[in-house]
Chain A
């Protein structure tokens, strides 16, 4: 029988940031008649599994007849390895995952979370045979963060022009994109990063543009003054305590893994997982059990980095849209935003560990009616 191999328009390469999620997924794919595997049993084997496609994604744009077929490639990087200073193991897995994307003929692949951080955005490090264009996915993530901040401010009646906006991890690829985007749009930019040199250079450049800006590697000096916080630091686990924030402060935690220590956050309606988008046309997974691997409070929600390759596939734009570091300009953000809107990717309704914001629940219930 002559068979057509299934088309792969896009791939999303990712990793898990906690073992609970891994345990849930492995047991979901395991035969239900067998006993459930515990975390220790799964840890014995997980890291040894080579990167592979673990489910297919069929995604529909709101543009007529525009459907993209994609795959999710799990790197099987153990969550604790994200904190390891030894990057070679992680880099090897990312390269294997990229080879997997090429092997299956994916036309564009995005690099989620640490898989692009470990490359420092340098997609050229991935030995490509020219089949797959690799994109970090950072442009769409930046778009969804920036537009999300504007939307959250509108919901809470904050005027950005009179706000002090703190960006944690401001010198990273997404952090610097947000910094550039909000330059000229806020009262004061407060910038925080780990390395003094990069931070100083960035801060000076912003000041030279006439934007009020203060910067420090000491977060505690900036937090008490921030009206809005964007956290996009590359932390292997939640690290930042928001106790010093003012009661009205809005916090966008766009880390992957998350940056903010959840137990210290009392204002649940003021913190959200940023950089997330909702696909209006919808997407589904094959096999269905895979949905347990990627669950959010509402359907059709995904990380910006994951959605970027989907979007590029809909747009027939098979290129490394996001590559390198510090190259995401406000113009690129607006271009990506217009493509996203054309295909029906919106800022996700706001949610955090506790679930949807109540205002979003009301909107979602109304939409359902």
Chain B
């Protein structure tokens, strides 16, 4: 393990277990994203959009590779598990809509919901983790933000076309996917162990890096709600959706 400057915690095994767990979650999340973008291709008719989806899938693959290389550099034994409790359910929820060839629903899951969580969490982790680990999270957060921005323009047009139908769809997709993400990011795992963290839940040791689950979750939710606002969804409709999520 390369010596790093900074806090006393960074010299403990617990701290590096936390870094390992966070990297494991990030790699798994990126690979789920990669798979989702790849599945999205089948829902698209426009060749340019199709190529863009492949490009995004490759970008997520690149992020996963970046995290894996970091783990190797620091000799951290990451655990990648695409069948893990919460991530599997996220993937299933995406596939359900992909099978219906519902491009808009897929876009909402991958580029709004998952990217909001990626950007919100990576930004904070980027500030908290040292050296090149923190830097990579920060850099990837900026790239994922681009995906989020890209989708907002597309979804705005969809909202203007038929607001009632669109709001109804977002609500359904929100219930499907955000419920899982809310359970995953709740202070305590309401639906059991995530099956990615090596030992106990990493949420218990976030303090070692001056991180808090409520802040990680809050930042992500704020980005998500901000995206919905910018798409044009009425705030009074989306507030109850948030209030109904598992706390």
B221 interfacial contact with A, CB 8 Å:
yes
Q: Tell me whether A45 and B229 are in contact in the complex, defined as CB-CB below 8 angstroms, given that A1-B162, A30-B244, A31-B244 are known contacts.
A: no
When distances are taken between beta carbons in the complex, the residues of chain B under 8 Å from A56 are 236
From A31, which residue of chain B is reached at the shortest CB distance?
A: B244
Q: Tell me whether A34 and B218 are in contact in the complex, defined as CB-CB below 8 angstroms, given that A52-B239, A53-B236 are known contacts.
A: no
A197 interfacial contact with B, CB 8 Å:
no
When distances are taken between beta carbons in the complex, the residues of chain A under 8 Å from B214 are 44-45
When distances are taken between beta carbons in the complex, the residues of chain A under 8 Å from B219 are 48
When distances are taken between beta carbons in the complex, the residues of chain B under 8 Å from A34 are 244
Interface residues on A, range: 20 to 34
CA distance A44 to B212 in the complex (A): 11
Give chain B nearest CB distance to A119 CB in angstroms: 22
Q: Which of B218, B226, B229, B244 contacts A44 (CB 8 A)?
A: B218
CA distance A37 to B240 in the complex (A): 13
CA distance A30 to B219 in the complex (A): 21
A339 interfacial contact with B, CB 8 Å:
no
Within 8 A of B (CB), among A1-31: 1, 3, 26-27, 29-31
B43 interfacial contact with A, CB 8 Å:
no
Q: Tell me whether A30 and B236 are in contact in the complex, defined as CB-CB below 8 angstroms, given that A3-B163, A44-B187, A52-B225 are known contacts.
A: no
B146 interfacial contact with A, CB 8 Å:
no
Query: Are A52 and B222 neighbours in the complex by a CB distance under 8 Å?
Result: no
Q: Is the interface of B mostly helix, strand, loop or mixed?
A: helix
A86 interfacial contact with B, CB 8 Å:
no
When distances are taken between beta carbons in the complex, the residues of chain A under 8 Å from B239 are 29, 49, 52, 54
A311 interfacial contact with B, CB 8 Å:
no
Q: Which of B229, B235, B247 contacts A54 (CB 8 A)?
A: B235
Query: How many chain B residues have a CB neighbour from A under 8 Å?
Result: 22
A163 interfacial contact with B, CB 8 Å:
no
Q: Tell me whether A54 and B236 are in contact in the complex, defined as CB-CB below 8 angstroms, given that A1-B162, A48-B222 are known contacts.
A: yes
B234 interfacial contact with A, CB 8 Å:
yes
Q: Which of A30, A37, A47, A52 contacts B229 (CB 8 A)?
A: A52
Query: Are A29 and B225 neighbours in the complex by a CB distance under 8 Å?
Result: no
**B binding-site residues for A, Cβ under 8 Å:** 162-163, 187, 214, 217-219, 221-222, 225-226, 229, 234-236, 238-240, 242-244, 247
Interface CB pairs A-B, < 8 A, 24: A3-B163, A26-B243, A29-B239, A29-B240, A31-B244, A44-B247, A47-B218, A48-B217, A48-B218, A48-B219, A49-B225, A49-B242, A50-B226, A52-B229, A52-B238, A53-B234, A53-B235, A53-B236, A54-B239, A55-B236, A56-B236, A73-B235, A100-B229, A287-B236
